[in-house]
Every structure is written in structure tokens, then in C-alpha cells.
Amino acid sequence: MYNFDFVKPSTLADAVAALAGDEAQALSGGQTLLPTMKQRLNAPATLVSLTGIPELKGVCRDGDTLVIGAATPHAVVAAEAAAHYPALAALAGGIGDPAVRNRGTIGGSLANNDPSACYPSAALASGATIVTNQREIAADDYFVGLFETALHEGEIITSVRFPIPTKAAYAKFNQPASRFALTGAFVAQYASGVRVAITGASEGGVFRWAEAEAALSANFSADALNGLAAPADRMIDDLHGTREYRAHLCGVMTRRAVTAAH
Amino acid sequence: MPKDGGIGASTKRREDLRFLTGNGRYTDDINLRGQLHAYFLRSQVAHGRINAIDSSTAQGMPGVVRVFTGADFEGVGGLPCGWQVTDRFGQPMQEPAHPVLAQGKVRHVGDPIAVVVAESLEQARDAAETIEVDITELPAAVDMKAALAEGAPKVHDDLTSNLCYDWGFVEENKGAVNEAFEKAAHTVSLELVNQRLVANPMEPRVAVGDYDPWNDMSTLYTTSQNPHVIRLLMGAFVLGIPEHKLRVVAPDVGGGFGSKIFHYAEEAFCTFAARKLKKPVKWTASRSEAFISDAQGRDHVTKIELALDADHNFTAIRTETYANMGAYLSTFAPSVPTWLHGTLMAGNYKTPLIYVNVKAVFTNTVPVDAYRGAGRPEATFQLERLVDKAARELGVDPIELRRKNFIQPDQFPYATPVAVEYDTGNYDATMDKMLALSDYAGFAARAEESKKRGKLRGFGIAHYIEACGIAPSNLVGQLGARAGLYESATVRVNATGSISVFTGSHSHGQGHETTFAQVVAEMIGIDAGQVEIVHGDTSNTPMGMGTYGSRSLAVGGSALVRATNKIIDKAKKVAAHLLEASEADIELKDGKFSVAGTDKSVDWAGVTLAAYVPHNYPLENLEPGLEETAFYDPSNFTYPAGAYGCEVEVDPETGKVDVLSFTAADDFGNVVNPMIVEGQVHGGLAQGIGQALLESCTYDENGQLVTGSFMDYAMPRADDVPAYTVDHSCVTPCTHNPLGVKGCGEAGAIGSPPAVVNAVIDALHRGGLTHVSHIDMPLTPSRVWSAMQAK
Amino acid sequence: MTKISMTVNGRSVSAEAEGRTLLVNFLREALELTGTHVGCDTSQCGACVVHVDGKAVKSCTMLAMDAEGASVTTIEGMANADGSLGTIQQAFQDHHGLQCGFCTPGMVMSTAALLAENPKPTEAEVRHYLEGNICRCTGYHNIVKAVLAASGQDVSGMGVAAE
């Protein structure tokens, strides 16, 4: 990779100051950024590690909301969110592999917004709030497109606030090589209705599946989805799955998530 | 119960101690004083004309010692091809030049254009980015059939076309075969793809070149399966360095599976650059680089047809195969779709007439060569898929159709219509064993249980034959091999009775350090701990051909037996002298020489000491010392065979295939270390299951590699495969080597792909999806689901 | 270049590194601990797994500077104090859980992490846990067997059919 200066501040304020420098970039767990840098596809002058800042770490319950520090590794979420939001904990426990889960963080995943990553579906289906050093962003406004988010240059995610649903589950169908989601469906039931977010399938990245939400809000059962297929036209078509196959999997995975949520 | 450390014992591996503690010494662990690092600038286009290369900026970058381009290699030899195939018209194959660095044209993504040598790898890479290469991109030939069409882009301008050869085997049989098809009561045909794979040993390739100008001595440390072959090819054909001035060392090597047989440009480059710069030069491949520079495997497109009589006897087989060579001929590439594929088309069956046609094609892709099984998996897959399809079309049991056509035990030795003679075998025995071990009788109940859970269960069978230890040299020479195929061993008995064995075989996971010691220890009757196996260094091992094609025990082990027998013969003479007895009366048992019928004896160490301290020694008749070398050239291939059974469950909603169980009943002849043999089968099965369900090396229409990393090339993981049931108790010993062994390294990868695919097709048919007659590998969920939808 | 200090296999060490120096390169080159291997560049193969402050991580996907002050354990630190093989290492030898040995250091380190959090895993749990460690030689059967044996479970029936 290209060389860079490495800084590891211990406060958020120092991190924000460091990121204001020329060509500075935040580094969280590095499980996506470092492989990208090895390919020399990314050339920051300074990397600002966020893993040494205590205020960015931890899982805590705040009434009906679960608050997760942005630099909390997946393995910690898998363990500590289990009592509060089991579906989210299970999702975190299924990302990558054990060694990746010990380094990769929720903030890093959401900032990167890989179209096949798991976390974006949980944030979107939960109607989570992405909290940054500058503002709060609703998940519905946060995910802009492939690897694109509403974050500004130098803006740091500090935590993510997940409203805890009455029932929820995540069902993931692995891409066999990378083991990212070929298609993953996160279903969450709230008093206000059911939210369904699909990752891995669409050319536009994570999306809410409105038809499934309507059907499930009326009747929260797998049968409510019978005959429902996601539109194939914006699905990813590649070596691992055709457009039609991914559209089909949206239905299968959503049904499985609903069944698991019961 | 065999004695631990002797033949037949599951002796634990001695090499494990260093590997388990982080003390292995792999090539990348070697760092020489003053070492420089090489970074290869590679083509990003599949086909292009190089107009100019400007490396002036790079030359001045920090740490850069020198930039090399193709111009530095003018007058230097190209990488040689080790096998010349003669086509069906009696003409030699078209054989293009293969320069170390591109000369004028690039022919595949990854083709090396320039190399920066610098003090650190990152400096070399920084500098390489400043090299300006002016390339005119040309249309690429990617699809084989399109590459043979009129007007297709030519990979090599100096060849007449992209056809390397059009091979017919046996050409004289062609008319009779066609006639048999006209007369057949039934015919069955199948068109299929045996997809391209990447070997992906976990250790990427590495080369470290060193040069000692005071002795004019070059040394290459390399990740090779056969250091002597590299020394011969690189020294004689590329760099012009005689053997005594060139040492090639292959230390601990992290797997090969064929991809580390071949002589690669990076090896020649590092040796060449070290001589030019008088400093060590090291190159280590990244995994991404391995995907575009290691020779790849398989890549056949085949149509196969079977003719049967009214009683379902096979009467003829006819095949037409397109075999991808890639952009250049890798070291043994031409032999794979011909002599390692066509000769196996009889399988286990007594089909009287066979004709195999193979068109080898140049394309703008990475070169293709031997990968675990090499030609034999391609032969087995098409034949065993076709027999299954025939059974389905005829409405007969696939097991019974196979049994009806098996070569019977009393027919051995059996000469096939494709020029090989099987020495021994008992195919019904392995079939029976597999069916028993897999509880085939209980399958119907299990399928019913799956059905209740909404899953489709299927059972697939394949019976394979393979040919190991390719030989003899005088025959393969007639077939176009430009090398011998013997193996060597030197047994050096030391004064106190310990033994150092120097073998031409090379272990890169096979455990020779343990098993070869077992053979010697058993023969002499001493503890295996007294025997050390040395391999991998041309400076101390006899000229040998290395390890591939499941040949090490059958060929290398036979050389070892011969050398040890020479030792025993001489030691008996010494013992006879010491015991004042006739040589004919000397017996060797448990490391002790005794005179038959008496209590007079001398132990092993007593004899070896006498050989080196010859105070009481027959010096007038016998040289002192105890060291012997043997070269063994086999009289025939060996023919392992086996029955494989695979049970799968298909999820009809997603098309995902789960392998629930896999049973392998192999006949490997005699076995030296059952634990190691079983491990070899396990590994082969995972690679075969990987080919059947997961792995595919895919190029787009422009010749760009789509699966260039583990993110897209699906390697089998622990949860993709089941616990295996493997058995090697059906034994028909090889009749023509001293150990009666056949070879076990490739069997798993040869027999398993058709068993898996047959199981999936069986599951779909049992689920009523009878319109699916074939799905091309890999049977990904998307492909299986799509096949299920098509009507 | 910056000086980095950490504890590796119980020993305090320090050496110079650049910002871009990966932990695996620091271990292999600066500290000459070549038991940790590099088998890919996309964080998948797991040949480079080491423990950092008790957690398994892929040392090819962590900067050396990010391990400043950390306690690192590599394969070289896994044998018993007297140099004999540790329990996991011994189980790998006993059950032929390695062939070429290249993935082995990562397999052993991942196994240690698994057994620390799940002392008696099932076969399915072992297979699932090892999804971040690729082996091309063994077909995994004997690795899984070795892990189960290292956890003190009976593995005599694994892969043996009931005839």
C-alpha cells in the first residue's frame, strides 16, 4: 500500500481535528479499508484510527433504544446486544468470520455501505438513527447508493441508535466465495408497522421492500408473502446469481426471516 | 498389526513438529543478506501491442536498483514446453515462443511487461506505477470455439491459427467407431463443460535468486514440486547455465496440486537478475498475482457419445473435446488433454471401440496446465456423467449398468482400445464396499425423511480409474515427452548405522519424510527414527523428476526399495565376512544379520561400522563404505480405481446443495501409511466437491479475469464439506513395482465431481424435475435454481 | 519510520515500522517470527491469524502501529514451556490435521480462540467457526477431528461408517 502517517487519538475531539487535515481518512477496524489500500485503490496521507477512543465503544440500553458505539466490534455486539436485540446480535455474529468480527466495527461497516454488507439492512429495517459528531441522520436518509452515504467529509459516526422491535430476524444467503450476503433480509416489527430491508441484491445497495412491508404489516406471517416477488430489474446480475435469482431470494429470505422472528 | 514406523503403520508425521510450532522454512521465510525485491508490472489487457515502455522516472525513484524489460531478455531463451504432441495428420503441434518478459505483445491479463528491482518491495511497487507503457489494445480471443473461427484475433501472429493441435486417438479406430454408432441399438450423448479452475495452494509462489560471483555459482530458492526439473529447464533452455553452476532448492513448500510443477518466468527472472546485479533478488506473489500468473487447470468443452447394444453392453465411445491452452504452452500443457485424458477414456469398462478427438486452442487467457488429476478428472467426469445419463434414458439402475460393463477380475491384464494395459483391479469389490459403507440400502428411507422437511435428497455414484506414475520413459519419449520419467534415491548408511536418504521426489504436504523412512526401516528392520529423508535440493539429491501425478511412492518409493536392496546385498557380504559364513546363508531380520541355522549373528550397526572402519573387512573383494543409488523407470502406469458415493440434499427454494455424506472405496494396492493415504483422499475429495459445487475461474468476453481473488473464486471451507468415509481395504496390488503400490494423491479429485453432480441430478429427478438432464459445474445455488425453473 | 513496542509471546519487543507496515510484516520481518503466514490479500484465508490482547485477528488486516502496547501471541508462543507440543498442536499431529503446514499456524490460533470461548464445540460448530481459515490440503476432515480431540471429545467414530 502507499505509505501514510498513522495517528491514534484517544478523544473524539482529537480525531475530528486530525481528520480535518489534508487527505486524512478515518480507520476503524480496517477489515475493508486495509484490503482496499493493499490494492492501492486508496491513498490517504493520514490514517486516523478510531479504535482508541473509549466514548465510541460499547453497547447500552436507553429505554426502548439500543445504542451502539461506532467503534464497537461485531463480536462485542454479538455478545452484548443479545439480551436486548437478539436479531441484531445474531446478524453481528454472522458477519465475516470470528477474526474479522474481532476487528470490524459497526461504524466502519455503515460508513462504507458495501451493497452486500449485513449491517445496513439492520439499520434500515430498524429505522435506526446514525449519530455523528455533527448531527443525527435517520437511516432512511443515510444510505444513498453503492458505497455512498449521507456522511460529509470528515464527519465521524459516533454511535447508532436502534429502536428495539417487538419481533425481528435477519436471514442471510451467503455469496459462496466472499460469504457476504448474496441476499439478506432483515425484518423488524414495530407498533407502527413492519419494516423490511434487503441487502446484497440490488444495484442500488440496501433498500426497503415496500410491498413486503405492507403485506407483513397487515399480517405478520410468512404466508402473507406468498406470490410476492421483488422486482428483478434493479437486481445485481453476476457470476454468483442472476437478476431473477436474487429477486426470488428476496422473497425466500424475507419469508425465512419472518418465520425466524416468531 | 504393523510395527509403528514400519510399512502399514499409521505413523505420526515427523515433519509436523516444525510446522506446528512455526518453524517450517518456506521460501518466503528465506531472506538473504543484501537482498533486493522484484515487483512485476503486468498487463492489464488480455491482448495488446506494446508500442513503447518508458521507465526513466522509475529508474530514478528511491531505492530502485534497475528496471528490466523484454529488451533485457533479447537473446535469452524462452520458457520451454516439455511435451510435443503430434496431431492426427502426423504433424507436430504449433509451438509459440514464450518469452520471460513480453516481447512486443502481451497475450493475457498478467503477462509480465517489466520488473522493478529495488531495496524494498514497496519501493519497487511505487516505482512500477510510474512506468509508462504505451499499449494498443487488440481484440481478444477468449472463447475456444470462437478463437478457431475464420478471422478470429490471433494470439500468436507467427502461427497459422489459434489451433495448437487437432489430435485423434486412436485415429485408426475412427471408422470402426463410427460404424458401431450406426449399428447401435441405443446411443446417448452429453455436451458439457469441465470448467477452468485455479489450483490455489495456500502458499503463493516465491522465488529468491542468489549469485556468488567468486565461484560463478547461481542458486534459486523456489516453491517447486521438482527442483531438478527446474534446474534442467531453466539452466539448459533459458539462461544457459550448466548444472554444476546452478543449484535449485525447493525447501518447505506449501502445497502445489500441479501448479508448482512448471517452470515460471519469475524463477528465470530472479536467477537472471541476481547474476546481473550480483545481489540476491526476491519475488513473492500476492494471492491476486497468483490468480493471473499461476498456470490454471481443466477448461475442457466436450461432447461425448456412447453406443450400446440391445443388452446394454457398451459398444463404442466417441468424444470431441476443445481444450484451452491459454496464451502460451506451459511446461506440460499439451500432454494433459491428450496422453493423460484420451488414454483413460475406457474407464472401468470393457468398451471395445473408442475414439477421442481433442482440439487444443490458444486463447488470451492465463496458460492452462496440470492441476490435481490432470486430464483424468476430465475423462472420468464425462464418462461417469454419460453412463448415469444412459441409465436414466434406458430406465435401468446406474449401478447395474456399470457392473454389467465392468472389466472383470479374470480379464486382467486388460488392454484397452486406448493403448494402455491395466494390470489389476476388482471394480465390483470397490462398488460393493462403497454401497455397504454408505448404507445405500437405507437411502430410500432417508430420502423420504428429507421429503418431509421439504428437501430433495439424491445419491450419486461414480467409479473411476486413474493412471499414476506416468511411464516408461522410452514409451513417453515416443509420445512426445521431452523428459524422462524415472525417479531416484541415494541411501547413505552412516558409520553408526543411521541412514540418510536423498530422494528425487519432493514433499509439499505428502509426508515423504515419514513414509519413505517407514519403507527403509521395514526393509532393514531398524527403527524409523534412524532414517532421515532429505529432499528438495539439487546439490545433494540425485537427479529426479519430483512429485506430481501420484508418482512418489510408486516410482520414487520403488527407486528407494532398489537402492535399499543394494545396501542390504552389500551389507550381507560384510556380515558374511564378519561371521565367517557364506553370503548365501546370511539372513537379515529385525536389524540383525545371522547365519541360518546357527546362533551366530552381528547387528546392523556392527556391519555398518565395519564398512566405514574396515579393519576386519574383505577389502580385496569389496569397497568400503555403504552408500548406493538407484534409478527406477517403471514398466507401466499404475491403475488405482474406486467407487465413490455422494449423498446430497437440495433446497428447492434456493437451489443450494448440501453434501450430507461422501463415501470413497479405493483400491490403491498396498498402503504404507494408512493415515496419510486417508488424508490424501480427504484433500482430493474437498477439491472435487469444490469443483462440483463452488469453484470457477471465469473470464469476461474481453479476457478480464472475473474471479481474481477469494472474494469471487469460491474455495471450499470447513462447513462446505462433510465428514468423509474412506476405505482402502479392497487391494489388488500393483504387479510391476516392488511395493505393490498404486498412488493415492489425485484419486479424490478425480472420482468426486461426477459423484456429486450425479447426486444432484438424482435428487432433482426424485423430486419430479425430470427435465434436468445435466447442469454444468459449478452447481451453484443460482445455476441449480435456474435449471429447476427451465422447462 | 516509527518505533513500535509490544509484547509478543510474553517478551517485550520493539522495532521500527512505517505507517503502512502490517502487523504480519512486522512479525515476520522485524521480529523474524516467520511462523505466521500470508496466503491471500483479501482477509479470507486466515493463515495469518494471531491473538492480539487475547482475541484472534487477521494480522494481514491490522496495522502494526495499531498494535502498539498490545500483547500478541503467535504460533511460536503455543508450545509448552519445555518446548513440547501444546494440547492443540499435539491433537493436530495425532489426527493428521495438517499436510503442507502452510495454513496450520492460523488453524491452531483459531482453534485456541474457539476453545477459549466454547470448550466443547460440536462438529458443526467447529466447521462454522473455521470459516475464516482456508486449507487446500486436508479437506478439513482431520482438522475438525483434531479440534474436537483437543477439546477432550471422543473422535473415534468420526467418518467411520456403521457397517
Q: Which residue has the higher pLDDT, A176 or B1?
A: A176
What local confidence, expressed as pLDDT, does residue B747 receive? 97
pLDDT band, residue A155 (cuts 50/70/90): very high
What local confidence, expressed as pLDDT, does residue C29 receive? 96
3-class SS at B654? coil
Angle, CA of B321, B322 and B328, to the nearest 5°: 140
Per the structure block, which three cell numbers stand in for B593? 544379520
CB B312 within 8 A of CB B396: yes
CA distance C128 to chain A (A): 9
Which amino acid appears at position A162 of this protein? F
CA–CA distance, B697 with B706 (Å, rounded to integer): 8
What is the residue whose three cell numbers read 454408432?
B181
Mean pLDDT within C75-94: 97
Contact A239 B781 (CB under 8 A): no
pLDDT digits (tens, 9 = 90+) for B82-131: 999 999 999 999 999 999 999 999 999 999 999 999 999 999 999 999 99
Per the structure block, which three cell numbers stand in for B756? 456429486
3-class SS at C42? coil
Any chains having at least 3 CB pairs less than 8 A from chain C are A, B
Is the pLDDT at C162 greater than 50? The verdict is no
- Give residues 114 to 153 of C whose Cβ lies within 8 Å of A: 114, 129, 131-133
Structural element, H or E, at residue B727: strand B724-727
Q: Considering only CB atoms, which chain C residues are within 8 Å of B721?
A: 139-141
CA distance C129 to chain A (A): 7
CA distance C81 to chain A (A): 26
Per the structure block, which three cell numbers stand in for B458? 439424491
Pairing of strands B314-326, B353-362: parallel
Per the structure block, which three cell numbers stand in for A105? 466495527
- In Å, how far are A46, B39, B109, B132, B222 from B69, measured between CA atoms? 34, 12, 17, 12, 22
Tallying the residues shown for chain A, one arrives at 262
pLDDT digits (tens, 9 = 90+) for C132-159: 999 999 999 999 999 999 999 999 988 7
First-residue to last-residue Cα distance in chain A: 47
Q: ipTM of this predicted complex?
A: 0.98
Pairing of strands B281-284, B36-42: parallel
CB B255 within 8 A of CB B509: yes
Residues sharing a CB contact under 8 Å with residue B157, sequence separation 6 or more, in sequence order: B105
pLDDT digits (tens, 9 = 90+) for B546-602: 999 889 999 999 999 999 999 999 999 999 999 999 999 999 999 999 999 999 999
pLDDT digits (tens, 9 = 90+) for B285-330: 999 999 999 999 999 999 999 999 999 999 999 999 999 999 999 9
- Contact of A175 with chain C, judged by CB distance below 8 Å, is answered with no
Least CB-CB distance to B19: which of C47, C101, C161?
C101
Mean pLDDT within B371-390: 98
What local confidence, expressed as pLDDT, does residue C160 receive? 64
Contact B710 A178 (CB under 8 A): yes
What local confidence, expressed as pLDDT, does residue B33 receive? 96
Q: B747-766 and B376-394 are packed helices; what angle lies between their axes, rounded to 10 degrees?
A: 20
CA–CA distance, C107 with C89 (Å, rounded to integer): 10
Contact C101 B29 (CB under 8 A): no
Mean pLDDT within B447-462: 98
pLDDT band, residue B4 (cuts 50/70/90): confident
pLDDT digits (tens, 9 = 90+) for B165-186: 999 999 999 999 999 999 999 9
What local confidence, expressed as pLDDT, does residue A227 receive? 83
- In Å, how far are A26, B28, B165, C63 from B333, measured between CA atoms? 48, 27, 12, 42
* Mutant choice from A4, A49, A103, A179 vs C, greatest count of C C-beta within 10 A: A103
What local confidence, expressed as pLDDT, does residue B789 receive? 95
B532 exposed, middle or buried (CB, 10 Å; 0-12, 13-18, 19+)?
A: middle
Q: Considering only CB atoms, which chain C residues are within 8 Å of A179?
A: 131
Cβ-count burial A162-180 (b if 16+ within 10 Å, e if not): bbbbeebbbbbbbbbbbbb
Contact B719 C124 (CB under 8 A): yes
The predicted model scores a pTM of 0.97
Cis peptide bond prior to B472, omega within 30° of 0: yes
* Mutant choice from B44, B198, B654, B720 vs A, greatest count of A C-beta within 10 A: B654
What local confidence, expressed as pLDDT, does residue C161 receive? 54
Q: Considering only CB atoms, which chain A residues are within 8 Å of C18?
A: 3
Q: Number of C-alpha atoms within 13 angstroms, CB side, residue B316? A: 22
Contact C62 A100 (CB under 8 A): no
Is the pLDDT at B469 greater than 90? The verdict is no
What local confidence, expressed as pLDDT, does residue C63 receive? 97
Per the prediction, chain A carries an average pLDDT of 96
Mean pLDDT within B271-292: 98
Strand partners, B776: none
Least CB-CB distance to B712: which of A173, A239, A252?
A239
